[in-house]
Homo-oligomer: A and B are copies of this chain.
């Protein structure tokens, strides 16, 4: 695909996509500030000028990495929204989250949360962007619940806004639990507890 057209100068020895994947895992593991350019260049097997040539800056690299993250590892979050009922949306969301957060192949925790909850003043911009992402997620869930209410699979007296905040709060709390070392069984039990209490209709157990 990119081998057909060979440029004119010295060939670059790294594949930007795989390098980005490596960066994603590093940021995912140690957060934005907790990951240094030195660690990144070493893990990616790239010299710093090449990295800066390809990605511009540490901030930009992180932004590209987080896009990869959202398109890949946590694509299931966006997909859950298109389930048929509000109950199924939440079911898919929380059960998949439990699995995702305890997958041994993944770094513990969520990249949108880790290391950007608090930070020094240099990372303030990135922190704000992560806040915006989390808010957008909550907003999307709220819209989905409003739709569900219109479609009748959520009670008339339910508050979509509060329910959205509730689910997001559970989701983000589960992330902390995963960092604390919670097992898949524990997170699954937690998710099922939430589903049990979900406002009818849709509150059929199992």
Contacts and interface: CB of A to CB of B under 8 A. Distances in A.
Interface string A113-145: 111011111010000000100110010000000
Counted per complex, copies of this chain come to: 2
Contacts of A24: none
Interface string A166-191: 10111111101101111000100110
Interface residues of A, number: 45
Instruction: Identify whether the interface residues of A are mostly helix, strand, loop, or mixed.
Output: helix
A35 interface: yes
Given A134-B176, A134-B180, A170-B173, A189 B114 contact: no
B166 A169 contact: no
A58 interface: no
A113 to B, nearest CB: 7
Contacts of A119: 30-31, 34, 115
Given A165-B182, A165-B190, A118 B34 contact: yes
A193 B173 contact: no
A75 interface: no
Interface in A28-51: 29-31, 33-36
Contacts of A169: 170, 173-174, 176-177, 190
Contacts of A117: 31, 109, 113-115, 117, 176, 179
Interface in A150-206: 159, 162-163, 165-166, 168-174, 176-177, 179-182, 186, 189-190, 193-194, 197
Contacts of A181: 131, 135
A189 B120 contact: no
25 contacts: A30-B118, A30-B119, A30-B120, A33-B120, A34-B119, A109-B117, A114-B118, A117-B117, A117-B176, A118-B179, A131-B181, A162-B189, A162-B190, A162-B193, A163-B193, A165-B182, A165-B186, A165-B190, A169-B170, A169-B173, A169-B174, A170-B170, A172-B173, A172-B177, A173-B173
